[in-house]
Amino acid sequence: MISLNKKKIIAGVLLALPFLGFGQIDTTKVDSNAVYLDHIKHQDIGEIYISIPTLAYKKLRPIEFEIGKKDIEELAADDAGDLIAKLPGVNVKSYGGLGGLKTVSHHSMGSGHTSIVLDGVMLHNSQSGQINLGQIQSDGVSSVNLNSVSLGSLFLPISAQITGNVISLNSFRRYYDRKSSLRATVKYGSFNRKDTYVSGSKLKGKNWLFSAFGSFRQADGNYNYTFLNGLTEFEGERKNNDYRDLYFGAQVQYKTKEGRRFYVGYKGSTIQQGLPGAVILYNETADERLKTNDNLIYGRAHWIYKKVGFNVYGNANQNNLNYNDPTYLNTAGKINVDYLNRNATLGLKFQRQQFQNYVFEGGIEQTASNLVSSDSSLSNPIRFHSKAVTSFVKNTLIGNFTLMVSGQYVNENTNLGSSSREMFKANPFFSYQSREVRNFQYQHTGTYKNSFRMPSFNELYYNSVGNSSLLPETAHQFIYMLRMIPVENIKKDLVIRTSLYYNRVNNKIVAIPTKNLFVWSMQNVTNVNVFGGDVSAEFEWKLKKSNYKMTANYTYQKAIDITEGSLNFGDQIAYTPEHMANFDVGMTIKNFGCRLSNNFTGGRYALNENTESNLVQGYLISDIAVHYTFQLKKQNEFKIQANVKNVFNQSYAYVRSFVMPGRNYLISLSYALN
C-alpha cells in the first residue's frame, strides 16, 4: 500500500510532467497539407487530424454518434435530456416529465462518469454531483456529440477529458461566418405550456463577435394519468408539477489576425418549480417547492506560439437553491432550507506536434468547491480538486495510438463532523483507432480507460441523503467500436456503428429516490460487472426535391452485482434497463416534412433486489412531427411545426410511481435570419 506522503510526491510529479516537453520544441516545418489544431477550421471545438504521406487512406473522421441541427429541430425536445436520450448506449432517467429531473448514464456508468460540456464549458455541480438535463434548454442547440473513445482535443476541459464519457452540446452563437444572425421561436402546448426563445449575434468588423440569448418557459404541468396497482387501475391527476424557467446569457469573442481567440461570457437562469413526488394510493399530498438561481461566468483564450497550441480557460459558478416543504413531519412542522454551492475552475492545456506523425499534449486544472446552508446540521464542506493530464498520440500507416495518464488529488474539509478522506488517483487511458480504408469504408477503435469520481457533497453530508461512509467510485472500461460505410455517394449514405464494452466498477454509488426528487438514498455496491453492446444505423437518401432519412439504434446492457456475500449477488443494478432502442424515420419533400420517432425502454428493477414486486414495466413511446418551411427573402426562413408526443397515450413511468404525461401536443413557430 502506498503511503499518503508518497502519493503526494507522485501527484506533484504528475502535475509537473505535462510541462517537461517544452525543452524539446522542434522547428521542423509542419506539413502544409496537415490540419494542425483545427482551431481555425472548426472554430472552438474539434479534433486534431494528422496527415501522413500516402494516398491509400483518408483522414480520421469522428467514429461516434452525432445529432445534427435538422434532427434537433424536428424532435422539438422539451430539454437537452430528450435530445441526449437519442444517443446509443445512453440511459436518461426521467423523474416526472415536464420540468422534472433528468440525469444521464452511458453504458451503466452513472452521471458522475459522464461530463456535459456546453460550448466548451464543462457544467459542474459539486452539491448533487450530476447535471439536471431537464434544466438545459434545447432551443439554440445546433449539435449533440457523444465521445467515449477519443478524448484528445485541445479545446476539451481537463475535467471532461479525464471522465469516462463526454457529451458535448454546441450552440449557434459561436461563428464568424455571417455578419449577423437572429433566431426566434414561440411554442404553445398541452398543460398550458408556453415557450419563447430569442438569440442573435452581430459581427463588428472582422474581429469582434457579440451574441446574446434569452428563453422563457412555463407550464401548469398537471396532467391526468392511469396508475396500475397490482390488478387494480387507478386514475388521478398529477399535481404540483408546474414550472417557470428563465434563461439568459451573452458572450463576446475577439479574434486577432494571427488567429488568437478570446472569449468572455455569462449564462444565468432562475427556475421555480413544484416537486410532484411519487404517486402513492390514498395519499396525493405534494406541496414541496424548489427554487434555483444559477450564475456562470467563463472565459477562454486560444492561440498558437512556435507550433504549440494553448488553451487557457476559467469559470466561476454560483448556484442558489431553496427547498421548501410546508408540511414536513418534524417539530417545526416544515422544512425551508437554503443552499449556496460555489465552484471555481482554472485550467491550462497545450498541444505540440513534434513531427508530422507525433503529438504531445498536457495540462493542469484546479477546482475549488464549497457548500454552505441554512441547515445547521450540514457540514459546510470545501473541496480542492487538482487534475493533471499528459498524453501522446502516435500516427502510423495503420492508425493512431494514444496513451494518456491523468492524476487527481482531492483534499476536503468540513466544519462539522468527519470529512471525506484525502485522495490521490492516477488514471491511465489507451486507445487505438485504425485509418479508414477507401475500398472497404470501415474503421476500428479499441479503448481501455480507468476513471474515478468522488461522491458529491449531498451524497456525503446532506442529513436526509448523505452517507459519510461512501467510498469513491472507480471503473475499468474496455470498449471496441467498428464503423462501416457500405454506401456513400451523392444520393445515398449508409453508416453502421457497433460497439462491445465491458466495465468493472468498484464501489459503485447508487442513488434511489425515496420521498420525492430531492430526497434520496445513497449506497455503495462493492463490485459491479457491466457488459453489453450497441448497434446503430443511419441511412439517408437524397433526391432532387426530396430527402429521406432513417436512424435506429439498439443497446443491450447487463449491470450485475458480483459482490461476494451480497444478498443481491447476480442481480441487475436498480434502474438499469437491459434493453433500450430508438427508431426514427423522416422525409422532406420540398418545403414539407414529417418525422416519426420511437423510443423503447425495457423493464428494470426499482431496487437492487430483482424480484417481481420490484419490476418496473418497460414501455414504447411514439412521437410524430409535421413541419412546413416558408422561404422568405434571401437568408430569411419561417417555419411552423406541430408535434404530437406519446401518440398512443401510453401510461408509463421510468422511475416507479413517478408517472409521465400521456398524449400531449406542441405547436411551434420559428424564424431564422442566417
Q: Which residues pair with 396 in a beta bridge?
A: 399
Q: Judge contact between 318 and 295, C-beta under 8 A.
A: yes
In angstroms, what CA-CA distances link 42 with 48, 299, 453, 524? 10, 19, 31, 42
**Scanning the structure block, which residue is given the C-alpha cell 398529477?**
238
Burial class (CB in 10 A: 0-12, 13-18, 19+), 476: middle
Domain residue ranges of the chain, discontinuous segments joined by + = 4-673
Kindly state the average pLDDT of the residues 657-667: 88
Q: Domain 4-673: give its CATH code.
A: 2.40.170.20
What is the C-alpha to C-alpha distance for residues 424 and 414, in angstroms, rounded to an integer?
Answer: 19
What is the C-alpha to C-alpha distance for residues 388 and 308, in angstroms, rounded to an integer?
Answer: 18
Per mean pLDDT, which range of 139-143, 232-236, 464-468, 594-598 is the poorest? 464-468
The answer, yes or no, to whether residue 52 has pLDDT greater than 70, is no
Kindly state the average pLDDT of the residues 427-456: 84
What is the C-alpha to C-alpha distance for residues 297 and 314, in angstroms, rounded to an integer?
Answer: 8
Kindly state the average pLDDT of the residues 395-414: 88
Kindly state the average pLDDT of the residues 520-529: 77
Residue with more model confidence, 106 or 229: 106
Residue-level pLDDT at 16: 53
436-441 contacts, C-beta under 8 A, 24 or more apart: 436/57, 436/58, 436/60, 436/61, 437/56, 437/57, 438/56, 438/57, 438/58, 441/484, 441/485, 441/486, 441/488
Q: Of all residues in the chain, what percent carry a pLDDT higher than 90?
A: 34
The answer, yes or no, to whether residue 674 has pLDDT greater than 80, is no
Per mean pLDDT, which range of 8-17, 21-30, 354-363, 495-504 is the poorest? 21-30
Residue-level pLDDT at 143: 87
Residue with more model confidence, 542 or 149: 542
Q: β-strand 180-189 against 664-673: which pairing, if any? A: antiparallel
**Scanning the structure block, which residue is given the C-alpha cell 491509400?**
56
What is the C-alpha to C-alpha distance for residues 329 and 324, in angstroms, rounded to an integer?
Answer: 13
What is the C-alpha to C-alpha distance for residues 254 and 205, in angstroms, rounded to an integer?
Answer: 10
Residue-level pLDDT at 359: 86
- Residues 6 or more apart from 166 whose CB is under 8 A from it? 114, 115, 117, 145, 146, 147, 148, 151, 156, 160
What is the C-alpha to C-alpha distance for residues 100 and 243, in angstroms, rounded to an integer?
Answer: 9
What single-letter DSSP state applies at residue 613? Answer: G
Banded model confidence at residue 471, pLDDT cuts 50, 70, 90: confident
Residue-level pLDDT at 24: 40
What is the C-alpha to C-alpha distance for residues 22 and 393, in angstroms, rounded to an integer?
Answer: 16
Residue-level pLDDT at 417: 63
The answer, yes or no, to whether residue 1 has pLDDT greater than 60, is no
The answer, yes or no, to whether residue 46 has pLDDT greater than 60, is no
In angstroms, what CA-CA distances link 88 with 85, 471, 579, 600? 8, 30, 11, 12
What is the C-alpha to C-alpha distance for residues 558 and 578, in angstroms, rounded to an integer?
Answer: 6
The average confidence (pLDDT) of the chain is 81
The answer, yes or no, to whether residue 184 has pLDDT greater than 60, is yes
Q: What are phi and psi of 657, to 5 degrees?
A: 75, -5
Q: ∠ at Cα 532 (550, 520), nearest 5°? A: 100
Residue among 335, 331, 310, 311 nearest 321 (CA) = 335
Residue-level pLDDT at 388: 95
Kindly state the average pLDDT of the residues 397-405: 88
The answer, yes or no, to whether residue 656 has pLDDT greater than 70, is yes
- Residues 6 or more apart from 372 whose CB is under 8 A from it? 339, 340, 378, 380
DSSP 459-491: HHH-TTT--TTPPPEEEEEEEEEEEEEEEESSS
573 SS3 class: coil
What is the C-alpha to C-alpha distance for residues 83 and 339, in angstroms, rounded to an integer?
Answer: 29
Per mean pLDDT, which range of 12-16, 273-277, 398-402 is the poorest? 12-16
Residue-level pLDDT at 128: 74
Residue with more model confidence, 7 or 130: 130
Residue with more model confidence, 374 or 151: 374
What is the C-alpha to C-alpha distance for residues 278 and 286, in angstroms, rounded to an integer?
Answer: 9
The answer, yes or no, to whether residue 672 has pLDDT greater than 60, is yes
Residue-level pLDDT at 318: 95
In angstroms, what CA-CA distances link 496 with 85, 166, 493, 534? 19, 21, 10, 11
**Scanning the structure block, which residue is given the C-alpha cell 460555489?**
342
Residue-level pLDDT at 262: 94
DSSP 333-356: S-EEEEEEEEEEEEEEEEEEEEET
Banded model confidence at residue 573, pLDDT cuts 50, 70, 90: confident
Residue-level pLDDT at 215: 93
The answer, yes or no, to whether residue 532 has pLDDT greater than 90, is yes
C-alpha cell at 172: 449557434
Q: Give per-residue pLDDT as tens, 506-517.
A: 888 776 655 555
C-alpha cell at 7: 502519493
Residue with more model confidence, 522 or 457: 457
Residue-level pLDDT at 48: 33
Residue-level pLDDT at 133: 85
C-alpha cell at 516: 420525492
C-alpha cell at 482: 467498428
**In terms of pTM, does the model score above 0.85?**
no
Banded model confidence at residue 33, pLDDT cuts 50, 70, 90: very low
Q: Of all residues in the chain, what percent carry a pLDDT higher than 70?
A: 82
63 SS3 class: coil
In angstroms, what CA-CA distances link 175 with 10, 486, 527, 569? 42, 33, 46, 53
Q: Which residues pair with 429 in a beta bridge?
A: 404, 449
What is the C-alpha to C-alpha distance for residues 497 and 473, in angstroms, rounded to an integer?
Answer: 29
What is the C-alpha to C-alpha distance for residues 170 and 118, in angstroms, rounded to an integer?
Answer: 6
The answer, yes or no, to whether residue 355 has pLDDT greater than 60, is yes
Q: Give per-residue pLDDT as tens, 85-141.
A: 898 888 888 876 666 778 888 888 877 788 888 888 888 887 777 788 888 888 888
Residue with more model confidence, 224 or 597: 597
